[in-house]
Chain A
């Protein structure tokens, strides 16, 4: 059983030092021992992979952002389930009803989003989307 603050965090310090030493050592070794080749092929993003085509700065469909945003929303809401699980045994029926209300609210949001066509990727239904 470690007694003091210093004892408690000493392993963390060792871990940090080892990590830094390892990184520094490998980089130095590669710098000293490695061969250096400089040509055009070396400068492309994936040296032995797919040849890049075009510019990276192109426009993406706004749908990507919409889906990403909706994903984050529902993802974060699902996180609330974790603390609920921890205290579920203790709170019993109360916790169950609370989570039921929460789930109904989330599902009505999900239903709204789905029916509104926010997830329709292929053909945007014009009449549904306005406003």
Chain B
């Protein structure tokens, strides 16, 4: 037993991104009380450097792909895809944060330290092949996110967001943990590969355990993970939290933790629970439909842009769940592609909101965007790309994302879910188009008149994801090929 403990160079290399982020996060944390300086851009530069280094680390780890720490981590193409995705999300969160934090006089290194810690947790989730590691990653990511949601301590809404997120989040984590306990009880292992062998009846312990235990465990884990990706019926928290959290943090919450949790979702359900797939399929089917419908119809009625984007993110979680319902390698690849496209377009849209919100985040309503096309053509053009991609118009990443998901669903004979999903996309077009009409066909209002010129960070935060969205829409095969190769999770 003790032979499995010890230093192993390959293990350390495969764990490189998390190591870099932990060291840099800790450094940023202790830097604040030493320097006593606020309002410095240096912290942001340092975090971006850390994230870029971690991307390098993740790519280098991929060249040494394989299991690490006795099978607790699985560094493969799938893990690398999501590691790089959450790291890019991190960079795109920090870029608009420069101006946003400076405007609120709240530029501290703690903000960046928390962000880096949260991303470290998400990298760990992406590579986790063991339920305990999943849980640890989930907690590292979540606890930092709870604090970030309440970053404006003197703001009531920010406090409300943090408290709601914390209470409901801890509750959901407990559900996940009950599922883990049941799996351990039934299979005697928390390792996904080992547990899968027992569940499919090929384990050393003889015949498979009673399906009722595994089914209940799958349902409990579905509740816990469903909450984190804001899938219906566990979506209630999302609009309040996104509205109350500082805008760059809301952007981060809607992209980073969601992508990482979906990585865990796909890995757990497509490896460990794959043998009982026909059992959980109706559950995911129902949740996918409910998420799309609730998300899109509630978004129609919103006046606050952050709430609207929150409901839209619930609907998009529904689309990804459609890909999971397909239960195929094509479906997993489609989910990966969709999450990449979704992260880019959503974080870009939030960057535009963060730019326009003004001091104290006064301007958050959809009407505040009226006439943006006249005054700030670049911002309006970039936001239009994100909105068109969120609708799923061709030549954008959102189009191919939806296309691959529904194609995968049809290949798995989910005709009804596909039809209902497409109808939902049509409904969604209305509220995104309303924004476009507001920007281009109305006279400039107070918010647009008062808007500052774009800073360098914001310019990058708008243009980079827009380029990414267009690239995914014009050359989707680049990413899709990698996703297709890495989507075979059962080895």
A contact residues vs B (CB 8 Å cutoff): 90-91, 94, 97, 105, 108-109, 111-112, 115-116, 128, 131
* A94-B6, A115-B34, A131-B153 known; A108 vs B108 contact (CB < 8 Å): no
The answer to whether B2 touches A112 (Cβ under 8 A) is: no
Q: Tally inter-chain residue pairs, CB-CB below 8 A.
A: 31
B474 proximal to A (CB < 8 A) = no
Whether B106 is near chain A, meaning CB under 8 Å from some CB there, is: yes
> Which residues from A are CB-within-8-Å of B153?
131
- Decide: B6 and A112 in contact? CB cutoff 8 A: no
| B5 pairs with A112, CB closer than 8 A | no
Contact B5 A131 (CB under 8 A): no
CB distance A108 to B29 under 8 Å? yes
**Assuming the A-B contacts A128-B36, A131-B108, are A108 and B26 also in contact, with contact meaning beta carbons closer than 8 angstroms in the complex?**
yes
Interface centre among B5, B6, B7, B153, by most chain A C-beta atoms within 10 angstroms, is: B5
Docked Cα-Cα span, A91 to B1, in Å, equals 11
Check if A90 sits within 8 Å of B2, measured CB to CB.
Answer: yes
By the criterion CB–CB under 8 Å, are A94 and B5 in contact? Answer: yes
Q: Which of B2, B7, B22, B30 contacts A111 (CB 8 A)?
A: B30
| Choice from B2, B6, B33, B38 contacting A116 with Cβ under 8 Å | B33
Residues of A near B108 (CB, < 8 A) are 131
- Chain A residue numbers with a CB within 8 Å of B30 are 108, 111-112, 115
**Interface members, chain B 16-59 (any A CB < 8 Å):** 22, 26, 29-30, 32-34, 36, 38
A120 to B189, CA, bound (A): 47
- CB pair A115–B6 under 8 Å, yes or no, is no
Interface residue tally for chain B (C-beta within 8 Å): 17
B→A interface (CB under 8 Å): 2, 5-7, 22, 26, 29-30, 32-34, 36, 38, 106, 108, 110, 153
Apart from A112-B33, A131-B38, 7 more pairs, CB < 8 Å? A90-B2, A105-B22, A105-B26, A108-B29, A109-B29, A131-B106, A131-B110
Looking at the complex, which one of B7, B22, B38 makes contact with A94 (CB distance below 8 Å)? B7
What residues of chain B lie closer than 8 Å to A115, measured between beta carbons?
Answer: 30, 33-34
Q: List 16 A-B contacts (CB under 8 A).
A: A91-B5, A94-B5, A94-B6, A108-B26, A108-B29, A108-B30, A109-B29, A111-B30, A111-B33, A112-B29, A112-B32, A115-B33, A116-B33, A128-B36, A131-B106, A131-B108
The 9 closest A-B pairs by CB, nearest first: A115-B33, A108-B30, A108-B26, A94-B6, A116-B33, A112-B30, A112-B29, A90-B2, A94-B5
CA–CA, A94 and B32, complex, Å:
32
In Å, the complex CA distance between A116 and B32 comes to: 9
What chain B residues lie within 8 Å of A131 (beta carbons)? Answer: 38, 106, 108, 110, 153
**How distant is the Cα of A131 from the Cα of B2 in the complex, in angstroms?**
46
A112 to chain B, nearest CB (A): 5
Shortest Cβ distance from A115 into B: residue: B33
Chain A residues near B36 (CB-CB < 8 A):
128
A22 to B2, CA, bound (A): 50
Partner of A91 from the list B2, B34, B38, B106 (CB cut-off 8 Å) is: B2
Contacts of A105 in B (CB 8 A): 22, 26
CA distance A112 to B29 in the complex (A): 7
| Shortest distance from the beta carbon of A115 to any chain B beta carbon, whole Å | 3
Q: Which residues of A contact B7 (CB under 8 A)?
A: 94, 97
Q: Which residues of B contact A111 (CB under 8 A)?
A: 30, 33
Closest to A116 in B: B33
Query: Shortest distance in angstroms between B149's beta carbon and chain A's nearest beta carbon?
Result: 15
CA of A6 to CA of B153, assembled, Å: 59
Q: How far is the CA of A90 from the CA of B5 in the complex (A)?
A: 10
Minimum CB distance partner of B36 in chain A? A128
**What is the distance, in angstroms, from A26's C-beta to the closest C-beta of chain B?**
42
Please indicate the chain B residues that have their CB under 8 angstroms from the CB of A91 in the complex.
Answer: 2, 5
Give the residue name and chain of the A residue nearest to B108 (CB): A131
CA distance A128 to B32 in the complex (A): 10
What is the distance, in angstroms, from B125's C-beta to the closest C-beta of chain A? 20
Chain B residues with Cβ under 8 A from A108's Cβ? 26, 29-30
Q: Which residue of A lies closest to B27 (CB)?
A: A108
Shortest Cβ gap from B15 to chain A (Å): 12
> How near does chain B come to A19, taking the closest CB pair, in angstroms?
33
Please report the C-alpha to C-alpha distance between residue A91 and residue B5 in the assembled complex, in whole angstroms: 7
Question: Could you tell me the distance in whole angstroms from the C-beta of B356 to the nearest C-beta in chain A?
Answer: 24
- How many whole Å from B378's CB to the nearest CB in chain A? 32
Q: Say how far B101's CB is from chain A's closest CB, in angstroms.
A: 10
Bound CA–CA A20/B106 (angstroms)? 61
- Smallest CB separation, B218 vs chain A (Å): 32
**B448 shortest CB reach to chain A, Å:** 30
In whole angstroms, how far apart are the Cα atoms of A131 and B153 in the complex?
A: 7
- Residues of chain A contacted by B22 (CB below 8 angstroms): 105
- The residues of A that contact B6 with a CB separation of less than 8 Å are 94
How distant is the Cα of A123 from the Cα of B448 in the complex, in angstroms? 45
A108-B34 Cα distance, complex, nearest whole Å: 12
